[in-house]
């Protein structure tokens, strides 16, 4: 099934975030983990910690920044999806955290912000 332009754009920014985090020493476990509760863009490992990463892109901050777009409702869906992942995909319960990679702007003005431990349970 062909991807929509929005899906292609999302994949592009997820690739950008994944490459950046790999350069920071994290390793990719899986991409786009989903269950009926929601989807997690990237699941990565940072030393002994499991990291659930939400990637957000905003061309302009007119309606809030990319990081600010991860509101309480989105956080709750991410937490529920992460709980599902921990319950069904892993045999052990490692330390885990939620990071956000917020990408904003275009071209030479593009900015990537890595927000570690953006929210918790």
pLDDT at 48: 87
Residue 39 belongs to domain spanning: 5-119
pLDDT at 58: 66
Whole-angstrom distance between the N-terminal and C-terminal Cα of the chain? 36
Query: Would strands 38-46 and 49-58 be described as parallel, antiparallel, or unpaired?
Result: antiparallel
Indicate which CATH number applies to the domain containing 67.
3.40.1350.10
Q: Is the pLDDT of residue 71 over 90?
A: no
- How would you classify residue 67: left for phi > 0, otherwise alpha for psi between -120 and 50, otherwise beta? alpha
Among the listed residues 115, 89, 110, 86, the one whose alpha carbon sits nearest the alpha carbon of residue 24? 115
Query: Model confidence over 16-37: pLDDT tens digits?
Result: 999 999 999 999 999 999 999 9
Structural domain count of the chain: 1
pTM of the model: 0.82
């Amino acid at each position: 099934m062909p991807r929509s332009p929005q899906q292609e754009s999302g994949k592009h920014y997820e690739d950008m975030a994944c490459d950046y985090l790999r350069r920071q020493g994290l390793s990719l476990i899986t991409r786009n983990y989903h269950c009926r509760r929601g989807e997690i863009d990237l699941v990565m490992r940072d030393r002994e910690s499991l990291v659930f990463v939400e990637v957000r892109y905003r061309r302009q901050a007119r309606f809030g920044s990319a990081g600010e777009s991860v509101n309480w409702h989105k956080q709750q869906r991410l937490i529920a999806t992460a709980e599902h992942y921990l319950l069904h995909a892993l045999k052990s319960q490692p330390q885990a955290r939620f990071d956000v990679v917020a990408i904003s702007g275009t071209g030479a003005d593009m900015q990537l912000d890595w927000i570690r431990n953006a929210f918790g349970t």
